[in-house]
Chains A and B, each alone.
Chain A
């Protein structure tokens, strides 16, 4: 088993080393960056071989964990790459920043691999606490402080709800083990059901599903751009993985009411998120609502529970990672002054001097919409497929219609980039950003045109 948690151990050790560096007053930014990236790469290298036959009672390292851990590591690496210039400019110190990102990653690793409510909660809190600090990492910026505080209050509240739910379930079943607690759910009293409902609410909060989404736009808007990019995929993917573990096991044909609740939430999230995105003028708020909408699509897969679902959830999250981080790379490129308002109009005339960046942005947005040829389409293909196969026709129709709506609001950005041609935009010059952009573009297109690359691995293992 020790081999199974090797990736997490590597990350923890590196994060601690980074903290020690600080203790010895070593403030070399590049060292923080190098250690962070190396640790993530090394742990990524160990992830595929970390599947173990015999699991801990508290941890499970199966294919699902491996896939999600891989995805999360990728998100963390990209986050570090695109934070470099930002943190350097603010002189906030990269060493601690790097260690916080690593700690958040470790938290997520445990979250996706937990088979026990306590581990799940500890993983969640490690992730959340690091996130609160990261949100406010831009010290001295009022907006960052506000976002961090909001996130902290609401996050703590949701953790409380989750914990309360866990204690109720523990109270009725007498075990923290998810498997034991969820065994034999046909004859259960209302306390257990209430506990599960609270756990459900806690998860829905973490994945920002409607009606638990209120915090998202503010946090997205207030947090530094690289961190917003990280939030929009990393913690969400991890929460989905845990959600999957807890609620995939509990769903059985006899307990239809859970499906009903998740179905309603999925519908509200898809429709509400996408419709509210239409009226946003601020790009980050727009993306916040768009990613709320995306959570609705993923819930669709979670709801229907068939061979298409897991592939769909994973592929979609993978596509979403490349697209959303790519979009944030472009937004960071545009930031001349940090915390200038990131308006949709800021993109005006981008194509004039920067055709490659504009093209990349187009590809990312098309991937978010789900136009074929991008990774986003393959993800949606599977998610809608799983809904059709599960018989949720109305939800599938709502989902595809909302994809059309998303085209409308994303193309407000495209219009500004390509069609309005007044003024020219000066962009930052940064090799790091460019590397991140290339990775995202490559991922979006390759997994769009040649899905087999990922799909064959998923088909064999899931």
Chain B
């Protein structure tokens, strides 16, 4: 696999979709077959190439060597900005999730999108490039570029192809996330000046100008606490809005409900992970002292999100809204794992990021499928669907069970690992979070019962066609992953083990000496 290190594989994966988008721009908009073919091909190619990363990533390396497939060239020398790509085990999994879900989103839209297809697929591909860039970047400037550019295609996906209140939802999404990211920009600037000349009240380190994230991992712990605190806050708002953590979550139900199916899948599956990824990549290693000091508050917010999100989900009459609010709850688990600040917490959180992408992405796909047939997402418009659409009912059952964390499926492994991590810190956290799992089972099963069981009474629901091959193909990869992670999560844990260790070593340098784990 050595040849992988000599070619810029991450750049190839990242820019393949946008090249596809460029190609689509030059195609006549009436030629819909060609547009769909190119979109599928570009995102599929990106996915196939990214599969090599899975095998090529050497998970035995430790320390800074966990960052692999490095590409580094000068970009803006006077600012010390480099074009710097590289991934660790955590980013590796997220890159794979991104390429897979983007690929699925492209071909799940074939029949759902009936107007302005050309722009739709081009935007979807640009969005994919943006997301991949975020996970691959190891330079703040580059990272920020992708982080914000990505908002533009997402805005249009919601705004043009969305539901009734699409304009409101789209601009709310854009404003909220932009608000968070501009504050993050100030945090980045503060780090930049601290590293170089210093600024008002803070003496700088006098290093050459740099925005290299790995460099900041090293100087992070030496930043004085009061500066760390403010930088942490600036980053925190950006990430917390993206996750979204309670009480920054209000944009999420709107955006999810109004977005087209593929938009929801990507939003839930990948965009939300950027916030949690941001915590792992930036907040923990660069502002460790501030993070540790804030843990009680962060964990409180996470637990509130777990329970509150689940309760709100239970009360929703609309399937998409229900799933959207369940995301708040699931992401609460992820942040809980991250802020447990130990190996199992972070490993569990990373796995749960993947799991949530698979399960919730799958649920949104399923809702999209029924919406295409019935043009409604209201739970009480259905009932007894298992009679008219038996296959659909089975797929829905599997994915819903995975989402609520049934043992043998992916959700269980992730949540269990997170709970171990949380328990290490404080048993009460684990107890409260455990209550969230029960609630999760409640709202999903209740919804399932109302939609699929009972008598098939409504006339409109009687002649519904069952899943076709293309729709099954959107779900089968997810179901394979659900059982793979559920029964044999070892390959996943192996790949992120040293990456999690790298972060924990920075945040809690004494953690491994206590002999708590390994």
- Chain A residues close to B by CB (< 8 Å): 362, 366, 371-373, 381, 384-385, 388-391, 393, 396-397, 400-401, 403-404, 407-408, 411, 415, 418-419, 451-452, 455-456, 458-459
Contacts and interface: CB of A to CB of B under 8 A. Distances in A.
A451 B182 contact: no
Contact of B79 (A396, A419, A455): A455
Given A384-B185, A411-B155, A452-B75, 13 more contacts: A362-B152, A372-B148, A373-B145, A373-B149, A389-B199, A389-B200, A391-B199, A391-B200, A397-B183, A403-B178, A407-B175, A451-B76, A455-B79
A389 B197 contact: yes
A452 B78 contact: yes
Contacts, number: 85
Contacts of A408: 171, 175
B78 A455 contact: yes
Interface string B184-226: 0110011011000101110000000000000000000000000
Given A371-B152, A452-B78, A456-B78, A388 B193 contact: yes
B159 A419 contact: yes
Contacts of A418: 156, 159-160
A404 B238 CA distance: 13
Interface string B125-166: 000000000000000000011011101100110011000001
Contacts of A403: 178, 182
A401 B179 CA distance: 7
Contact of B186 (A366, A371, A384): A384
Given A389-B193, A407-B174, A411-B171, A372 B199 contact: no
B77 interface: yes
A366 B201 CA distance: 34
B167 interface: yes
B78 A391 contact: no
A404 B78 CA distance: 28
Contact of B152 (A366, A381, A389, A391): A366
B186 A372 contact: no
Given A371-B148, A385-B192, A400 B76 contact: no
B152 A400 contact: no
B148 A415 contact: no
Contacts of B190: 388
Nearest to B180: A404
A371 B159 contact: no
Contacts of A397: 183, 186
Contacts of B179: 401, 404
23 contacts: A362-B152, A366-B152, A372-B149, A381-B185, A388-B193, A388-B199, A389-B200, A390-B199, A391-B199, A391-B201, A397-B183, A397-B186, A403-B182, A407-B174, A407-B178, A411-B155, A415-B171, A419-B166, A451-B76, A455-B76, A455-B79, A456-B78, A459-B78
Contacts of A459: 78
Nearest to B198: A389
Given A371-B152, A389-B197, A404 B178 contact: yes
A404 B173 CA distance: 12
Most chain-A Cβ atoms within 10 A of its Cβ — which of B78, B151, B171?
Answer: B78
Contacts of B149: 371-373
Contacts of B167: 415, 419
A82 to B, nearest CB: 26
Given A408-B175, A411-B171, A455-B78, A400 B159 contact: no
A443 B304 CA distance: 48
Nearest to B144: A372
A390 B178 CA distance: 24
Given A390-B199, A452-B75, A385 B189 contact: yes
Contacts of A415: 159, 167, 171
Nearest to A448: B145
A452 B76 contact: yes
Given A372-B149, A418-B156, A456 B77 contact: yes
A388 B189 contact: yes
Contacts of A455: 76, 78-79
Interface string B69-84: 0000001111100000
Most chain-B Cβ atoms within 10 A of its Cβ — which of A362, A407, A408, A456?
Answer: A407
Contacts of A371: 148-149, 151-152
Going nearest first, the 3 A-B pairs with the smallest beta carbon separation are A391-B200, A400-B182, A459-B78
Contacts of B152: 362, 366, 371
